[in-house]
Homo-oligomer: A and B are copies of this chain.
Amino acid sequence: MFRGFSSVSVDSKGRLAVPSRYRTLLSGQVSDSLVITLNPLDRSLWLYPLPEWEIIETKLAALSDFDMQSRRTKQMMRGYASDCQLDNQGRILLPRELREYAGITHQAVLLGQGNKVELWDEDGWNTQRDQWLQQLGDGNGEPPDSLRSLSL
C-alpha cells in the first residue's frame, strides 16, 4: 500500500527518481514495470504497479460505451496509459504528453494513495492544498455528509 509524501525533481530529460521506499512496490516482485496514466479528475498523474493497473483496466473495460462520462474516462485513462521501466538509478522517464498534461516542470510531488501513487507539479499541488485547507478552516463550503460524520 502506498502512503506518504515525497518531493522530487524532474530533470531536463523528464526523468523522475522514484523514492526508494516505493521502488520494490512499484516495480518489484513480479514485473519490472509500472504504468503511468493521467488522472481524469485533477491535473495530475497516476502511477500503478502493473498488476494493479491490470485490475483497473478490467474495471474500465466493463464501463458502458453508451454513457458519455464513462466512455471518456475509459478513453482517457487507457489511451494515455504508458508502460515505464526503472533505469539503473531507479528513475522513470515521464512521457512528454503526460508531463504537459500535469504541468510538471522542475519539481514534482508524489502522494501515496493506496493502490497507486499520485504525481503533481509541486506548485500546482501547493495551490490545491492551500485552497483546501482554507476551505476547511473557514468552515464554509458545507462539507458533504460523508465528511461530517468522519471521525479521525
Chain B residues contacting A128 (CB-CB under 8 Å) are 72
Q: Which of A67, A78, A137 has the most CB of B within 10 A?
A: A78
- Report the contact-size class of chain A (Cβ under 8 Å from the partner): 35 or more
A:1-33 near B, CB below 8 Å: 1, 3-5, 7, 21
Instruction: State in angstroms the CA–CA spacing of A40 and B150 once bound together.
Output: 13
Instruction: Tell me whether A70 is interfacial, beta carbon within 8 Å.
Output: yes
Tell me the dominant secondary structure on chain A's binding face: mixed
Number of copies: 2
Decide yes or no: A76 and B129 within 8 Å by CB, A4-B83, A5-B95 being known contacts. Answer: yes
Decide yes or no: A5 and B74 within 8 Å by CB, A41-B65, A114-B57 being known contacts. Answer: no
Which of B78, B135, B147 makes the CB contact (< 8 A) with A114? B78
A:56-78 near B, CB below 8 Å: 56-57, 59, 61-67, 69-78
